[in-house]
Structure 1
Amino acid sequence: MIFALSLSGLVLLIMIWLAVDFSLGRKKHLSTAGRMETAMLHGQFEIFTHGKELFHDYFNEIRQANHHIHVLFYIVKDDTISQEFFSLLKAKAREGVEVRLLLDRIGSWKIKKQTVKELREAGIHFAYSNSVRFPFLFYSSQVRNHRKVSLIDGKIGYLGGFNIGKEYIDEDPILSPWRDYHLKMTGEGVNFLQSEFFIDWNEYGGENLQNHPVYFPNLPKGEVRHQFIPTEAGQLEDMFIRLLQKAVHTIFIGTPYFIPSNKVFAALMEARQRGVDITLVVPYNADHMLVQEASYHYLRTLLKEGVAVYQFKNGFYHAKTIMIDDKICDIGTANFDQRSLFLNKEINCFIYNSTFIERVRSVIKKDIRDSIPLTLAELNKPNFLRSVKEVLAGVIAYFL
């Protein structure tokens, strides 16, 4: 009896500590988070949807770098492609190219201390982003740097959903082929991505490089009008709501995890009620526990309202995109879930060029052809285990 009471007391204390830690940590984060949205920029864009093609291009550009390489990833693993990536960066550093590598501390937890030591010995400036920190251990463990940004010589930028690991190049038998959207860009927007990288690097790498003109060359304008919106600490929620409110005719959402906040979901329902056609593509198979079950409550409501929901079956769908009326296309690092909305550092690119948007539309059409419709009858079939998972997922949806 005494043991049971002691255990109950300990559990209660832990729960109180977690709640206080998270509340105070979030309050501090909100007080320090800046808000930024670029003016309209102009550049040239390419889109990659398969990892092998992306990394063939990406590694080739790294090999041709002359001055600097700046890289931020959420996940880099300890596998063959990761080692190839590290070897390439070490070779460039030994050539005299400045290399800065910033990785999320928890997302890239598989990297060994010996690997980090070897990177630094080769001359690479290495740092971890968003380490777990006092005094808010729980909150800081949940706030992740989910951005995937690379800059080469200040002239070429990459941004999107791919990380570095075997699953991203179709070498995971369960999740292959991996479907994702990743942008390669040139033009004046690259300067902004460089500046954003330096904001994170200054915080975690301890160098303030914002005022060094060598990293910010004069760049030509291109044909694709776009703007970047970096977000953290809940800023993404407002961004998504404003985007959905612009829709007059159509909304397309592609996401691996559909777990919106109440406000974002309300904006989506308001769009549907004013006659906007909505199409959603999500994976058929999940890569994490409970993420699908967390979406079912929302998907049932959407299906009742006539929203077209498709489940991608040709591998795993990890793309992150929103398209509004074929006039605005959002591609970036943010998922349509509460972790991206409230916890992660993200960066999204809004594209306003009709020619490039049509190219993305052709990609989306193929993804829909590789999907099957989800029906309300299927979701409403009695399934006790799924129901239990849905309840549990609903409780922890904020952290999925």
Structure 2
Amino acid sequence: MFKKFIYTVLWALGILLVFFGLLLTWIHQDIRNGREAAKEDSKPVVYPIRQSEFKLYTDWDTFYPRFAKDIENAKEYVYIHFFSIGSGKASRQYFDLLKRKAKEGVQVYYSVDRAGSLKGNRQWFKELEKAGVHVTYSNEPHFPHIWYTIQHRNHRRIAILDGKVAYTGGMNVGEKYTKSSWHDYQLRMTGEGIQDFEKQFCHDWKHNTGQSPPIHTARAGSGTTSHYLKSYSSGYEVVDDLIEAFDAAEEDIIIATPYFIPDNERFMDSLKAAKKRGVEITIMWPKHSDGLMLTQAAYPFVKEALKNGMKVYQYEKGIFHGKLVMIDRKYPIIGTVNIDSRSFRLNDEMTLFMDESPFSDIMMKQVEKDLDDSSRITLDYFEKLSTKDKILMKIAKYAHYYL
């Protein structure tokens, strides 16, 4: 009787293993096939060179009051797409502000990524629509590539207020961003570049709903920073553009990223080649991550960087979430792109490529401060890893594509 029971249990476990094996195979293949199917419609959009002014925010306490005031001052329209929305007091205050503006007669269009909004309160979205706010979700899952469309996310951040002010960067709205431990790179822009943010927002809205919000004529002035915006669909050309920037570097490359998981051989080869020709390479990523196994997933790539003479720092004052590549301390590349598989292969992203300007100095001063708040790590770091970290690193090695 006992042998029969054991046989039944083993048989059931075998069936479950086969089932999960087939499911994982289907998911992985569906994502690959979906990405290939999307390739035809995934050509990045490169906007013209513009002149704008930029201001950098690194925490909620300085960013949100300015952002809320700009929304409050809007008289005609508010267009916002954030990747995610959380719950809590911060989100409630934000939604109350959007509802109030809509009731005042301001055209409010609010978009959020479907997957990124799972933690949001669904009742809040209903209240927004009832108050007159136009609401849509980006990238609804659909067949035939259901798993790919679940994974395919609009990771952009865009806010346009009356065509006079715009925002982008790493920030979303939610309680976790209000914590003093959260450190980010968020940009406030005034100037010519705002019109391109608006065009991209309207393009995304039309892609999701079939109809575009009104596109207004350019109304902002010029600025001192020359730049252009590039938007990516499904991560196409992100790696190509970063490699082009690495190949052009003459003195140094600084990469500041929440996740250092560059699962792309060409990306790492380009950094190694830059190092061989004498370019100093510095990588900064956080000691503590906001996601499961993301720190451990970075370990193999960090180890490879160290073995090839690159400097690596771990930010220690909290969760670092900024997205920046700085070339020769003069040319910032800043936006929503992470150094990970999602940004390289799955997400819709956007990045500003900037020329040398006074803002370059502002960014460098911030990076230097953040490096001061970091600890430099060497190869012996990996000899001191806990058993838990070693196990998670091995698991993450096979799962980081989906993290």
TM-score under structure 2 length normalisation? 0.93
Aligned to 1:238: 240
Q: Does 2:167 align with 1:158?
A: yes
Aligned to 1:113: 122
1:153-302, aligned counterparts within 5 Å? 153-170=162-179, 176-209=180-213, 212=214, 215-233=216-234, 234-260=236-262, 261-302=264-305
Deviating more after overlay: 228-237 vs 179-188: 228-237
Q: Pick the aligned partner of 1:130 from 122, 139, 164.
A: 139
Aligned partner letter, 1:245: D
Aligned to 1:392: 395
Q: Pick the aligned partner of 1:81 from 90, 93, 113.
A: 90
Q: Pick the aligned partner of 1:45 from 40, 46, 54.
A: 54
Q: Does 2:314 align with 1:311?
A: yes
Aligned to 1:354: 357
Structure 1 residues 65, 16: closer, same or farther in 2, change over 3 A?
A: same
Aligned to 1:324: 327
CA distance in structure 1 between the aligned counterparts of 2:316 and 2:13, rounded to whole angstroms: 48
Deviating more after overlay: 61-70 vs 19-28: 19-28
TM-superposed CA distance for 1:5, in Å, is 4.8
Asked if the contact 2:224–2:357 (Cα under 8 Å) also holds between the matched residues in 1, the reply is no
CA distance in structure 1 between the aligned counterparts of 2:121 and 2:168, rounded to whole angstroms: 26
Q: Pick the aligned partner of 1:60 from 56, 60, 69.
A: 69
Q: Percent same amino acid at aligned positions? A: 33
Aligned partner letter, 1:251: I
Deviating more after overlay: 5-14 vs 193-202: 5-14
Asked if the contact 1:282–1:310 (Cα under 8 Å) also holds between the matched residues in 2, the reply is yes
Structure 1 residues 361, 39: closer, same or farther in 2, change over 3 A?
A: same
CA distance in structure 2 between the aligned counterparts of 1:56 and 1:7, rounded to whole angstroms: 52
Aligned partner letter, 2:20: V
| SS in structure 2 at match of 1:163 | coil
Aligned partner letter, 2:307: K
TM-superposed CA distance for 1:327, in Å, is 2.4
CA distance in structure 1 between the aligned counterparts of 2:322 and 2:14, rounded to whole angstroms: 48
Asked if the contact 1:235–1:342 (Cα under 8 Å) also holds between the matched residues in 2, the reply is no
CA distance in structure 2 between the aligned counterparts of 1:201 and 1:118, rounded to whole angstroms: 20
| SS in structure 2 at match of 1:380 | helix
Q: Pick the aligned partner of 2:381 from 378, 384, 388.
A: 378
Q: Pick the aligned partner of 2:336 from 292, 311, 333.
A: 333
Deviations, residues 114-133 of structure 1 (Å, cap 9, x unaligned):
21111101000001111222
CA distance in structure 1 between the aligned counterparts of 2:131 and 2:364, rounded to whole angstroms: 43
Structure 1 residues 167, 7: closer, same or farther in 2, change over 3 A?
A: closer
Asked if the contact 1:231–1:345 (Cα under 8 Å) also holds between the matched residues in 2, the reply is yes
Aligned partner letter, 1:193: F
TM-score under structure 1 length normalisation? 0.94
Deviating more after overlay: 345-354 vs 19-28: 19-28
Aligned partner letter, 1:386: D
Structure 1 residues 301, 15: closer, same or farther in 2, change over 3 A?
A: closer
CA distance in structure 1 between the aligned counterparts of 2:209 and 2:294, rounded to whole angstroms: 33
CA distance in structure 2 between the aligned counterparts of 1:80 and 1:398, rounded to whole angstroms: 33
CA distance in structure 2 between the aligned counterparts of 1:68 and 1:280, rounded to whole angstroms: 40
Q: Does 2:69 align with 1:69?
A: no
CA distance in structure 2 between the aligned counterparts of 1:366 and 1:6, rounded to whole angstroms: 55
Aligned to 1:173: none
Deviations, residues 256-291 of structure 1 (Å, cap 9, x unaligned):
100012211111111111110011111111222211
CA distance in structure 2 between the aligned counterparts of 1:6 and 1:368, rounded to whole angstroms: 51
Gap regions ≥5 residues in structure 2: 1-6
For the aligned residues, what is the CA RMSD? 1.6
CA distance in structure 1 between the aligned counterparts of 2:77 and 2:224, rounded to whole angstroms: 26
TM-superposed CA distance for 1:382, in Å, is 6.0
Structure 1 residues 355, 127: closer, same or farther in 2, change over 3 A?
A: same
Asked if the contact 1:278–1:307 (Cα under 8 Å) also holds between the matched residues in 2, the reply is yes
CA distance in structure 2 between the aligned counterparts of 1:16 and 1:387, rounded to whole angstroms: 26
Q: Pick the aligned partner of 1:142 from 129, 151, 176.
A: 151
| SS in structure 1 at match of 2:52 | strand
CA distance in structure 2 between the aligned counterparts of 1:93 and 1:68, rounded to whole angstroms: 9
Aligned to 2:4: none
Deviations, residues 38-75 of structure 1 (Å, cap 9, x unaligned):
23210111111111111000000000001000000011
TM-superposed CA distance for 1:313, in Å, is 1.1
CA distance in structure 2 between the aligned counterparts of 1:306 and 1:9, rounded to whole angstroms: 44
Asked if the contact 1:126–1:205 (Cα under 8 Å) also holds between the matched residues in 2, the reply is no
